[in-house]
Amino acid sequence: MIKDKLVELLTQAVTEALEQGKLSLVSLPPVTVEHPQNEEHGDYASSLPLKLARAASVKPLAIAEDIAASIVPGPEIGTVRVMPPGFINFTLKADWLTAQVDSILEAGDTYGNVGLGEARRVQIEFVSVNPTGPLHVGHGRGAILGSVLASVLTAAGYSVEKEYYINDAGAQTRAFARSLYARYQQQLGVSVEVPADGYVGNYMIDLAKEIVAGEGDRFLVLPEPEAVSGLGQLGLDRMIRQIRADLEVLGVTFDIWFSEQSLYDGGQYEKVRSILEEGGYIAEKEGATWFISTALGEDKDNVIVRGDGSPTYFAADIAYHYNKFIERRFDRVIDIWGADHQGHVSRMKAVLGALGVDPERLGVIITQLVTLRRGDELVRVSKRSGDIITLREVIDEVGTDACRFFFLSRSANSQMDFDLELAKKQSADNPVYYVQYAHARIASILRLARESGIDFRDGDVSLLTTEPELTLIRKMLLLPEVVEVVVSTLEPHHLAYYAQELATVFHGFYTQCRVVSRHEESLSKARLKLVAAAQLVLARALHLMGMTAPETM
């Protein structure tokens, strides 16, 4: 990336200034470049002199001039300017910019890839909804974030494994089994009530009907514990199949479906408890077993085994993360959790420290709530069932691509409104339509060129000299930087923003520059090359988001 080249030049220039005695520093802060808000100030700018001024006891403008004087511009850089109060600004050469069109076309589907990961192993665990009910619309947000993040990390050179953690043990699973047993009996004419702590959604009635249709009344003659256990397992299996099917429609798949129960069956739970006990992090008090989080800087201790002897969710999660880091040896783990898990983050990091794992190896993304709307109207219940609004209902109404883009359109830590009517609009008001229409428009231009018999493979990109052309190239060159930003921040929404910006710049170019022209054949070929490169970059952004790049609309 050109950004890395500029950082290298700045670092060399500072080193030279130090050797010449123009600067005196104990240490060099991170050297960074960014894009100026005002495009007239160039393509990139560095505030490094401002960072150095206090430590060097020299005015930032003077530092900037000394550093700039030591920079030897390469073929990429047109000008290096010093600007108050102490910025160093870079403008790229026009002929270097135009040459990048050929470079993008040569890179093909690998364009945008960066070599940050060096094949380090990353596990992303996301969705992981209890299999006690269908996915609702809020779960879709985490599903898309995890899916897109996995794609981007793979493009950045990481070895990525996607995992769904199945909560098939514990109190909620038992409540689900008892609820299903009650609904099953009701379907066969037995008068019973659903347990007070049970699941009362209409989907439980549908599930009981399916089981009666497939299994008949054979569970009625079994002892209740055996019937509850058998029905519970049947119900969980069916719910997991439904969850898997709904996610696949959304374009979300997993490499591993990991069972919580396996942590108990495989001995990880007992092993990790022993490790914590040996480290002095376990205490018995108030009739329960506690992890002494306060010894690691937490405000309070946390229960891991209740008074009745049953492990808490936290206990299972400790064993699960022991399995991830110690047994499966992932270099990094990224968990995507719902808003109700916010308080779980710090204690999870604390227990990793107790297990000898660097807490910084765990990244956690907390997704905030999703509100459904139809324009100004708030949508609260399902039209189909009068109950919860399932993710599948939303997918069926607006389509997979719209779901993916809308869920990705806001940062995870902000609440979002999902406007169903907007997501279905075929107009520029709908960002999904707007971005995909740009790709379809490009495909139409290239079809016209083929139908006109124009072979633009020998197009001379040096003819691309107008501002709309160069602006489009500049925007196309940002994709690798966007990938890098997503990796460093774990914020995939930057990709959605970029796709919209690229579409806007392309639409602007198209309205100002005639592409297919028999009267200016050389320029037409050059512009067709540019358009083909733009198609490649836009398709790459769409595919990283798991969306289609339509040829027609």
Is residue 380 included in any domain, yes or no? no
For the domain that residue 36 is a member of, what is the CATH number? Answer: 3.30.1360.70
The verdict on 291 and 264 lying in the same domain is yes
Average model confidence (pLDDT) across the chain: 94
Give CA angle at 328 (484, 331), nearest 5°. Answer: 25
The verdict on 57 and 106 lying in the same domain is no
Please count the CA atoms within 13 angstroms of the CA of 76 that sit on its side-chain side.
14
The answer to whether 416 and 140 are in contact (CB under 8 A) is no
Residue closest to 222 by CA, chosen among 186, 185, 196, 256: 185
Is residue 397 included in any domain, yes or no? no
The per-residue pLDDT for range 83-123, each reduced to its tens digit, is 999 999 999 999 999 999 999 999 999 999 999 999 999 99
pLDDT value, residue 384: 59
For the domain that residue 527 is a member of, what is the CATH number? Answer: 1.10.730.10
Q: Whose structure tokens read 């043990």? A: 169
The verdict on 526 and 439 lying in the same domain is yes
The verdict on 486 and 442 lying in the same domain is yes
386 contacts: CB under 8 Å, gap ≥ 6: 202
pTM (2 d.p.): 0.93
The verdict on 274 and 133 lying in the same domain is yes
Is residue 318 included in any domain, yes or no? yes
Please count the CA atoms within 13 angstroms of the CA of 312 that sit on its side-chain side.
15
The verdict on 271 and 159 lying in the same domain is yes
DSSP H helices, 20-119, are 48-56, 60-70, 94-107
Is residue 388 included in any domain, yes or no? no
Q: What is the DSSP letter of 311?
A: B
Last residue of a domain, one of 228, 249, 270: 249
The per-residue pLDDT for range 426-454, each reduced to its tens digit, is 999 999 999 999 999 999 999 999 999 99
The verdict on 71 and 17 lying in the same domain is yes
> Confidence class of residue 518 from pLDDT cuts 50, 70 and 90?
confident
What are the helix and strand counts (H, E) for the chain? 20, 14
Residue closest to 404 by CA, chosen among 544, 550, 220: 544
Q: Domain count for the chain, please give it.
A: 4
Compute the distance between CA of residue 516 and CA of residue 449 in angstroms, rounded to an integer. 7
Residue closest to 251 by CA, chosen among 179, 148, 352, 173: 148
By DSSP bridging, strand 159-166 and strand 121-125 are parallel
Residue-wise DSSP of 518-544? STTHHHHHHHHHHHHHHHHHHHHHHHH
Is residue 156 included in any domain, yes or no? yes
The verdict on 361 and 266 lying in the same domain is yes
Compute the distance between CA of residue 523 and CA of residue 515 in angstroms, rounded to an integer. 8
- Name the residue type at position 464: L
Window from 235-249, 269-283, 379-393, 400-414 with minimum mean pLDDT: 379-393
The verdict on 453 and 477 lying in the same domain is yes
For the domain that residue 304 is a member of, what is the CATH number? Answer: 3.40.50.620
**Averaged pLDDT for residues 511-525:** 92
Is residue 9 included in any domain, yes or no? yes
Domain range holding 183?
Answer: 171-249
Last residue of a domain, one of 318, 348, 367: 367
The verdict on 125 and 273 lying in the same domain is yes
> Confidence class of residue 380 from pLDDT cuts 50, 70 and 90?
confident
The verdict on 156 and 296 lying in the same domain is yes
Indicate if the alpha-carbon torsion angle 356, 358, 361, 366 is positive or negative: positive
Is residue 458 included in any domain, yes or no? yes
